[in-house]
Structure formats: C-alpha cells, structure tokens
C-alpha cells in the first residue's frame, strides 16, 4: 500500500459510486492508471466489494441490539453449526465468533422491543446448545465510514 492506494481507498469509501474518470481527476492521475490501481487493489483483496448503506429504520428495523451468547459443548462442529444457523436468521445482521467469556456476539435489528423479546425467547432460548445469553439494546451508533491503513509496527531494536 502506498499513498496513492490509500487515497483511492479513502475516496471510494466516501463515495463508491463515483466514476473512474471522476476518481482519477480528484487524485490527479490518468484514468487508465486509476483503473489499474483499483483493479490491483481488488485482486489483492483490499477492496472486497461495493455496498449501499441502508437505513435500518426505513426497513422497519428500528431496534438494534447486541446479544452475547455462550454455547456448549464448545467444539468446532457446534461453533460452525451455530454460526451458520443464526447467520441465516433474518433478524441477525452480523455474527462475531469470540474468545473470552462469551462465544458469540450477534448484532440484530428488529421492528421493536416486543420483536426483540420474541426473538430471544422464541428463537434463541429454544436452541439446546445455548447455555446463556445477554442482550444490550443499542441506543445510538457512531460509525467511521473511512478507514485508513495503520502504520506497520516498528521493528524492535536489536541488542548490541
């Protein structure tokens, strides 16, 4: 990653719908150079896709929550099955597999608190592998839409 790659990523995160010509103009480079750089970033997996950011309230999903889940027995089969199963539920936006006290963190979005309660009681609590869960309602979210590469860690000084 050089400065031009970082600038391309920053501009695309701000507006992924801009044309290659417009992006090249903003960066002060030729459109062919810009296109090749974007393609190289995509091939390397730095750019993984282009997505529309959706207003959850407009989709009747005004209540969001995090649900911390513990499962047992703790095995790869249980982890993979649970992750795939809950990841396919329409209420679940994201499934995080964790280390530490909890095994999973689910980010869910539902219509209202009654639907959140129903999801917890009627869907999650009936799963036999779940030994406990805790929910935390999300009131507000601050989101950084533009990510910049972090500097590489400095090499440790060698003893003399």
CB 14 within 8 A of CB 8: no
Q: How many angstroms separate the CA atoms of 16 and 42, rounded?
A: 13
13 touches 147 (CB < 8 A):
yes
Chain mean pLDDT for the chain: 94
Could you tell me the pLDDT band of residue 80, with boundaries at 50, 70 and 90? very high
CATH class belonging to 57-138 = alpha beta
Taking the C-alpha atoms of residue 139 and residue 92, their distance in angstroms, rounded to an integer, is 17
What is the token pair recorded at 117?
């309660």
**Could you tell me how far CA 43 lies from the centroid of its own chain?**
20
State the average pLDDT over residues 124-138. Answer: 96
For residues 64 and 55, is the Cβ–Cβ distance under 8 A?
A: no
Q: Give CA–CA dist 77/135, Å, rounded.
A: 24
Residues of the chain with CATH 1.10.10.10: 3-43
pLDDT higher than threshold 90 for residue 143: no
Q: What is the pLDDT of residue 153?
A: 83
Distance separating alpha carbons of residues 92 and 81, to the nearest angstrom: 15
What confidence score (pLDDT) does residue 37 get?
97
- Provide the CATH number for the domain formed by 3-43 in this structure: 1.10.10.10
């Amino acid at each position: 990653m050089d400065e031009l790659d970082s600038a391309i990523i920053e501009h695309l995160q701000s507006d992924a719908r801009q044309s290659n010509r417009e992006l090249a103009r903003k960066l002060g480079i030729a459109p062919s150079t810009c296109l090749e750089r974007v393609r190289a970033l995509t091939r390397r997996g730095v750019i993984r896709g282009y997505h529309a950011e959706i207003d959850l309230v407009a989709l009747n999903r005004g209540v969001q929550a995090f649900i911390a889940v513990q499962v047992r027995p703790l095995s790869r089969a249980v982890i993979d099955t649970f992750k795939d199963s809950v990841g396919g539920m329409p209420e679940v936006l994201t499934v995080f597999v964790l280390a530490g006290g909890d095994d999973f963190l689910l980010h869910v979005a539902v219509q209202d608190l009654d639907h959140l309660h129903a999801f917890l009681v009627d869907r999650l609590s009936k799963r036999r592998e779940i030994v406990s869960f805790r929910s935390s309602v999300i009131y507000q979210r601050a989101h950084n839409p533009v990510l910049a590469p972090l500097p590489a860690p400095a090499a440790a000084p060698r003893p003399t």
